[in-house]
Amino acid sequence: MDIYETDIPGVGRRFELELTGGTRLVAVLHHDGRAELFRREGPDADGEKVFDLTGEEANKLGSILEGAYFESVDVDELTVPLGDAILEWVEIDEESPYAGVTLAESNLREETGATVIAIQRGEETIPNPGPETTIEVDDYLVTLGTREEQNRLLDLVDGTA
């Protein structure tokens, strides 16, 4: 990823990041702390202003992007004491074929290998739900399984498998 930096006399400094797919992100940082963000679709295209930030907003966004608030990890490289298993939160929307079905009827564990270890229903958490528990629209299934099992489960829940 290339970054281009240019002084803008009397204004501040301009930074341009080349993103994947040819898009460029342009940030103009003013001497007073304000920032303007633009998006360009190619090196010869005009920039489209995305938004303006006050100095305080620009500093906060910079801290967030730098990882001061949250540092992301590469989940493919993530190691946890669960071996190859990972936890996922899977949302059930109104289009899901599993909305209104009990866990026993869903047969999710047998179909995917992933296990539903809890259901988050609004403010309520249902730990270790039994086979008679009905899956409802807007539930989040907390599941445990390998990446491959989780992907199969997502495909089934989304109705794409």
List the chain domain ranges.
3-66, 86-158
Distance CA 151, CA 161 (A): 10
Spell out the CATH class of 86-158. Answer: alpha beta
Residue 42 has pLDDT above 90, yes or no: no
Mean pLDDT, residues 60-75 taken together:
74
Q: Are 78 and 85 in contact (CB under 8 A)?
A: no
Predicted model pTM: 0.53
pLDDT above 90 (res 104): yes
Query: Please, are residues 128 and 101 in contact by the beta-carbon 8 Å criterion?
Result: no
Q: Which residues of 12-50 are buried (b: 16+ CB within 10 A; e: fewer)?
A: bebebeeeeeeebbbbbbbeeebbbbbebeeeeeebeee
Query: What is the C-alpha separation between 36 and 14, in angstroms, rounded?
Result: 9
Residue 79 pLDDT > 60: no
How far is 26 from 49, CA to CA, in rounded Å? 9
Length of the chain: 161
- pLDDT, averaged across the chain: 87
